Amino acid sequence: MPERRESESQNDKGTDLSEEAMSKTDSQTELSKRLANKITSHQPSIRVIYGDLSQLPNKVRHFVEEHVKLCKPDTIHICDGSERENDLLLYVLQRDGMIKRVPKFENCWLSRTDPADVARVERLTYIATEIQRDTVPTPKHGAKCQLGNWMCTEDMDHELNMRFPNCMKGRTMFVIPFSMGPVGSPLSKIGVQLTDSAYVVVSMRIMTRIGDKVLEALGDNAFVKCVHSVGRPLPTTATLQNNWPCDPKMIMVAHLPERNEICSYGSGYGGNSLLGKKCLALRLGSILGHREGWLAEHMLILGVENTLTGEKRYIAAAFPSACGKTNMAMMKPTLPHIKVTCVGDDIAWMRFDSEGRLRAINPENGFFGVAPGTSSKTNFFAMQMIQHNTIFTNVAQTSDGGVFWEGLEDEIEPGVKITSWLGDDDWNKDSRQRKAAHPNSRFCTPATQCPILDPAWEDPSIFADARPFAMRPFFGYNFGEYLHHWLSFGKDAKNKLPKIFHVNWFRKDKNGKFLKNKNLENENIDMEALFNVPLDFWENEVNAIYKYFDEQVNEDLPKAIMQELKALEARVVSY
């Protein structure tokens, strides 16, 4: 973060999770410690309304005090992760008009954001490093880089200094200690997020493990520093849309890997504000994985068991956002002897164990699923799961106290009226002029409510076959180096490399219907169309990949990848 105290040691400015960097941080001189204590003692008194600042580990307390001085909140709330705390924050959010009950379900809530704050902002998401090539390849022929947004650290500090000073005036700063992965697991990572949004706290409680138990596991070790503000200091004369504070014109999501920091400003929505999700688990996580010899991937994990033989396999599958990952992770098989269990629907942390087997965990604690398209037909188990303890965002509501989105048309009782996410009181599903729910509307629900959650979902010994890649929006470092990192695991003779399958469940028949939208055993499938290899498509595909690698990855492309592309071209030519 910008505006650090001059008395800070040089090591504190670049905290790294490696053992070497941590030992440097811990070896501050007695003089620097005395100076830090002196400055802290002269800071204005901090009004803590929940929790005990003095009981925080030293590094966490200093992090909080530094940002109190910068962001100027009125009060501080140190999150303990308890039910009592959650009930209190839900009451406050309801009182302030940010959420309302969904009475048809148990302890479920609906929020509507400002229409200008409804999605992740990849174009405003940056990785800040000293050297550009550490973050992105250098495109060829003046092409615009499509593999991430880089900013030098000095410019990033300038941008953050334009945003964060005094940004929390009139508000409460919440301190959220959180763990990605089971608390205390050797595969987990701990972060501390500072935020001025109670909505973020109740959502982070679902999506991560938060509170006192995390602080106990952390002790005085290093952690990922996360700072978030909606960018609306109080008092404000501007009218808030849907009582949703944000500053859309100044939104920025910044990752500073050399300091292990994530800073987000201006948005209160989803992955922009729940900094344990895409920011830590994927962007910064991929950097940590590169440093430490593991992989952070945009993948679901599921188990498939043959109940006749008892044989079980785990699969990690990579698909882009909003294409049905959650539906696949919670499949309801039509074959009677096949059982599917869900480990996770979005993120996989994978590493090879001492015996060379690929292990995987889901570092999240909940599901942040895209609502439209989810129904009892497409995802029976998700529809059961979300009827308790769920926060819905930007979905429509129904006159019988429920929720609605596109895909639920057949599940609404006759005569029930729908109020759209934009507040249209009698939205007509037949007019279709505007969607009832925002296309990126979400449900946020605890993983433990999934009816088919794998019994070993928190076990780091789960091993998986894998299918890369769906990481383009989430690279934390140079894509060419990312490919090198994947290839490096094949050089270790003891590693049992996973089987990789390329699937396409989106092919259509001559009538424009999905070929795989049926039970393959019971329906008349056009098998010729299903297994057809269209030559013109693959010729164009090879040419497009050549062009993409040449322009975007350029000199950073591993030679082995180019060799595979040439081999593909030879197979296509000889087909």
Q: pLDDT value at position 523?
A: 63
Does residue 531 surpass a pLDDT of 90?
no
Q: Count CA atoms closer than 13 A to 48's CA, side-chain side.
A: 13
Q: Indicate if 323 belongs to the active site.
A: yes
Q: How many angstroms separate the CA atoms of 251 and 159, rounded?
A: 11
Does residue 29 surpass a pLDDT of 50?
no
Residue 562's φ and ψ, nearest 5 degrees, are -65, -35
Beta bridge partners of residue 220, listed in sequence order:
none
* DSSP single-letter state for residue 116: T
Q: Note the pLDDT tens digit of each residue in 112-135.
A: 999 999 999 999 999 999 999 999
Strands, DSSP E only, in 100-149? Answer: 100-101, 109-111, 125-128
Does residue 273 surpass a pLDDT of 50?
yes
Q: Note the pLDDT tens digit of each residue in 56-102.
A: 999 999 999 999 999 999 999 999 999 999 999 999 999 999 999 99
Does residue 519 surpass a pLDDT of 50?
yes
As a whole number, mean pLDDT of residues 434-446 equals 95
Does residue 45 surpass a pLDDT of 70?
yes
| Residue with token string 């300038």 | 158
30 vs 465, more confident = 465
Both structure tokens of 246: 């944000």
Does residue 254 surpass a pLDDT of 50?
yes
CB-based contacts of 134: which residues, under 8 Å, 6+ apart?
A: 477, 478
Q: How many angstroms separate the CA atoms of 435 and 205, rounded?
A: 30
* DSSP single-letter state for residue 247: -
Catalytic residue among 246, 263, 323, 342: 323
469 vs 265, more confident = 265
Smallest CA-to-CA distance from 225 within 184, 266, 269, 258 is with 258
Q: pLDDT value at position 510?
A: 74
What's the burial of 477, exposed, middle or buried (CB within 10 Å: 0-12/13-18/19+)? buried
Does residue 342 surpass a pLDDT of 80?
yes
Q: Note the pLDDT tens digit of each residue in 235-252.
A: 988 899 999 999 999 999
Does residue 158 surpass a pLDDT of 80?
yes
As a whole number, mean pLDDT of residues 506-514 equals 72
Smallest CA-to-CA distance from 80 within 178, 194, 203, 14 is with 178
Both structure tokens of 429: 């599903």
Asked if 43 and 66 touch (Cβ cutoff 8 Å), the reply is no
Q: pLDDT value at position 4?
A: 35
> Three-state SS for 263?
strand
Both structure tokens of 266: 């201006």
Does residue 508 surpass a pLDDT of 80?
no
Does residue 181 surpass a pLDDT of 60?
yes
